[in-house]
Amino acid sequence: MSPIRPTLARLRSRFRPLGVAAWLVFGTACDAPPPVAIELSGPVAAWPAYGGSAAGLGWSPLDQIDRENVGALTLAWSHRSGDVSDGSGEVSRTSLQTQPIVPNGTLYYCTGFNRVFALDPESGEERWVFDPGMRNKTLYGPYTRVCRGVAHWEDAAAEPAAACRERIYTATLDSELIALDAATGDPCSDFGEAGRVSLREGLADAPDWEYYTTSPPLVLDGKVVVGALVADNLRVDAPSGVVRAFDARSGALAWAWDPVPPGFDARARPPGARYQAGTPNVWAMLSADPERGLVFVPTGNAAPDLAAAVREGLDHYASSVVALRIADGQPAWHFQTVHHDVWDYDVPAQPALFEIPGVGDGRPGVAQITKMGHLFLLDRESGEPLYPVEERPVPAGDIAGERLSPTQPFPTHPPPLHPARLDPEDAHGFTPIDRGDCREKLERYRNEGIFTPPSLEGSIQFPGNAGGPNWGGVSIDPERGLLFVNQMRNAAIVTLVPRDEFEALDPASAVYPDELFPMRGAGFGAKRGPLLSSFGAPCNPPPWGVLSAVDLRSGEVLWESVLGTSRDQAPWPLWFESGAPNLGGTLATAGRLVFIAATTDKFLRAFDAETGEEIWNVRIPYTGNATPMTYRLEPTGRQFVVLAAGGHGWSEPGDALLAYALPEEAR
C-alpha cells in the first residue's frame, strides 16, 4: 500500500518569500438559506457496516436533509477521544480516518490508538470505551496511525441476554483481531485468547511496523475476514499478503487465501512461515454478497512495487479485484486492472456492488475504481466486464531483464476519468519562471503518458502513485444509476537507481514527500517524489482535485466539479479555487446530495448530485480525511451526517468526530 504523497505540502514555505499579492481571492462560503421546517415523514435507516452495507455503495435512502434545507445544517454534537500524536515522540503521527457504524442503536468508531468508542448516536455521549493497549508505537517512514473502521455481528444462535450475542470486531496496528461485547465493550472471552487472535501466526519474522491492519474486518456467514497492510518497496521477501477468515464465535482459523498463482512452486520458507513471502496484500476495505457467498477483495502489489522481474510470477493476483468464496476462501474469479504493475497502481478501494436496470443489462455488478481513474464494471458472478475493456499498447521498458506487459486494460464504459498525458505544453506555473521550470522537467524526463515505466533517467508518472482515486472509493446512487468519485491530479517523478549507487545515497537526503526505496533483493533501488515547480506547486495544470458524477447507464461523465481550495496550504491571499489533493470518500443520499471532506483545506462540503454545484460547506477544526456517513433511527428523529476530522500527513493531526443535523427549532 502507498500512503498519500502530498504535493502541496511545501506550498507554505515556498510561497512565503514570493511576496505575490495580486492573486484573486475566491470565497469558499456558501450563502445559507433561512431555516426550514423538517419533514418528519420519510425513511429511517441505520449504517450497519463500512460503506453503509456489505455492498459498500456509500449510499443512504435518507432524504430529510435535501438540497433545499442543507444550508441550515448545524453541529449537533461532537466527540473528542484525545488520541492524537504529532509524531514528534515515540508514537507515530495519527490520522483520524475512521467511518463510524450504527448497526443497533449505538455508534461505534475506532482511533489511531486502536481504542474503540461506543456513543449515543443522538447525543454523542460515551457508553463505553475499549483500550487494547498500544504496543506498536512507531510505524515505518511516512505511514500514519489509522483505524478506518470496525465491524458488527449478531449471533442469532445465542440467547437474547447472552454476553457477546452482539459483537464488535476491530483489527489493530499490533496485528490482532479483537472481539468485543457490543453492549459493554468487554472482550469476548470465548474468542481466541481472552478475546484476541494474533494475525502474526504463520508469518515469517518481520518488524512490527512492516505488517499490520488498518481497514475494518468484514463478517459474512459467521466468519470474520481480514487482510493487512505490508510496507512498500522494502524487500522482495516482504511478509505474505494472506487473507484469512476466522470463526466469528471462537476465533479459530476457518481458511487462509495465500495469493499465489495456480501451480506455483513455493519458495523456501523460514521456520514457522506457512504463507508465501512477497505476495500481494489486501490493505483496503472489503465488500460481500451474502446471497452468492462471495467476498470481494482489492489486491495490492506483489513485492517490490516498482520491479516486476524479481516477483517470479507472484503478481498473478496483484492489482486485481478477486471474488473469494466465503465457504472455503478459494477464488471464484479475479480481474486484473494492471498487468505486471511497476507503478504502485495497486487497487486501493472497496469494490461497490450494484444491480441497476439499464446497467450491464441489469446484471449484478461490481464497480472497481483504480488509482489511474479507470472504472471497471464487472459481472458479479463471473468477473467478466459488463462493457468492453480494451487491451491497448503501452510504453515499453528499457531496463534489462525487467518484465513488463506490452498492453494494459482500458475501460470504455466509462472511459478513463483521469487525463492520460502531461506534455511540456501543459506545464503550469504562476509566473513564466516556474512555468518554464515545469516545462523543462517535462522535457527532461521520460514522458510517454500513462504507464510510462520507471527508468534510470527518471520517468514522469501521471496519474501519480496516490491517484487519481484512492481508498475513499466511490458511492453509487442506485435509484438514478449515478456513481460519484473524487480524485486528485498530481504527477510524480520515479527514478530507478542501480544497487551500488543506491547504497551510496544518504537516506537523510530524501525529505518526505521525496522518498528513497531500498527494494532489497532487486538490482536497483528507487527514488520518487512529486513533480513540483521551483515555487513548490504542482507542474500539472489545475484543478488538482475534482469530484465527478458518472452516469452508469450511458457511461458519460454527468459533471465534474473542482474539489477544494489552496486555503490551509498556501498563505493568504493565495487562496484560490485550484482544487486540492484529497484523501477520503463520498456519501450519496436520496436527498440528492453528495457529502465529502477529504481535501487539504478544512471543510466539509455538500454538492448537488444532479448539477455538481457546491451548495453548502462548513469549516471544520482539522482536515477531514475520512468518509462521511449518515443515519436516522426514529420516525420522529433527525437525520445526522457524521464525519471524522483528524488530519493527515499534510495537516495537523486531530480527534474531532462531528455530527451535523438540521436544528431542533426547525422541527
Enumerate residues 6+ apart whose C-beta is below 8 A from 567: 28, 575, 601, 602
Q: Which domains does the chain have, with CATH numbers?
A: 11-666 (2.140.10.10)
Contact present, 516 and 526 (Cβ < 8 Å): yes
Helix (H) or strand (E) holding 332: strand 331-336
On the question of pLDDT at 39 being above 80, the answer is no
Task: Classify burial at 499, counting beta carbons within 10 Å of its beta carbon; exposed 0-12, middle 13-18, buried 19 or more.
Answer: middle
Quote the CA–CA distance of 173 and 137 in Å, as a whole number. Answer: 9
Helix (H) or strand (E) holding 376: strand 375-379
Contact present, 528 and 455 (Cβ < 8 Å): no
Q: What is the pLDDT of residue 133?
A: 97
Q: Which three cell numbers stand for residue 546?
A: 475534482
Task: Classify burial at 393, counting beta carbons within 10 Å of its beta carbon; exposed 0-12, middle 13-18, buried 19 or more.
Answer: exposed
Amino acid symbol at 18 = L
Mean pLDDT of 118-141: 97
pLDDT digits (tens, 9 = 90+) for 101-110: 999 999 999 9
What is the rounded (10 degree) CA torsion for 358, 363, 364, 366? -70
Instruction: Indicate if 344 belongs to the active site.
Output: yes
On the question of pLDDT at 23 being above 50, the answer is no
Q: What is the pLDDT of residue 16?
A: 31
Which of these, 152, 52, 151, lies nearest to 629 by C-alpha position? Answer: 52
Q: What is the pLDDT of residue 246?
A: 98
Q: Biggest alpha carbon distance in the chain?
A: 73
On the question of pLDDT at 661 being above 80, the answer is yes
Mean pLDDT of 352-360: 98
Quote the CA–CA distance of 19 and 630 in Å, as a whole number. Answer: 44
Q: Give start and end residues of each alpha helix (H) in 463-575.
A: 499-503
- What's the pLDDT band for 36 if we cut at 50, 70, 90? low
How many Cβ atoms are within 10 Å of 597's Cβ, its own excluded?
A: 33
Task: Classify burial at 198, counting beta carbons within 10 Å of its beta carbon; exposed 0-12, middle 13-18, buried 19 or more.
Answer: middle
Mean pLDDT of 250-255: 98
Q: What is the pLDDT of residue 42?
A: 83
Q: What is the pLDDT of residue 22?
A: 28
Mean pLDDT of 283-299: 98
Q: What is the pLDDT of residue 11?
A: 39
| DSSP states along 180-202 | EETTT--B-TTTTBTTEEETTTT
pLDDT digits (tens, 9 = 90+) for 577-614: 999 999 999 999 999 999 999 999 999 999 999 999 99
Q: What is the pLDDT of residue 268?
A: 67
3-state helix, strand, coil split of the chain in percent (to 5) is 5, 30, 60
pLDDT digits (tens, 9 = 90+) for 457-505: 999 999 999 999 999 999 999 999 999 999 999 999 999 999 999 999 9
Quote the CA–CA distance of 114 and 173 in Å, as a whole number. Answer: 7
Task: Find where cell 470481494 sits.
Answer: 296
- What's the pLDDT band for 112 if we cut at 50, 70, 90? very high
Enumerate residues 6+ apart whose C-beta is below 8 A from 526: 233, 306, 454, 494, 495, 496, 497, 516, 517, 519
Q: What is the pLDDT of residue 270?
A: 73
Q: What is the pLDDT of residue 142?
A: 86
Mean pLDDT of 27-44: 61
Question: Taking the mean position of all CA atoms in its chain, how far away is CA 264?
Answer: 30
Catalytic residue among 83, 344, 477, 601: 344
On the question of pLDDT at 388 being above 90, the answer is yes
Average pLDDT, the chain: 93
- What's the pLDDT band for 28 if we cut at 50, 70, 90? very low
On the question of pLDDT at 85 being above 60, the answer is yes
pLDDT digits (tens, 9 = 90+) for 540-558: 999 999 999 999 999 999 9
Which of these, 610, 388, 372, 377, lies nearest to 484 by C-alpha position? Answer: 610
Quote the CA–CA distance of 225 and 217 in Å, as a whole number. Answer: 6
Quote the CA–CA distance of 269 and 59 in Å, as a whole number. Answer: 44
pLDDT digits (tens, 9 = 90+) for 508-529: 777 778 899 999 999 999 999 9
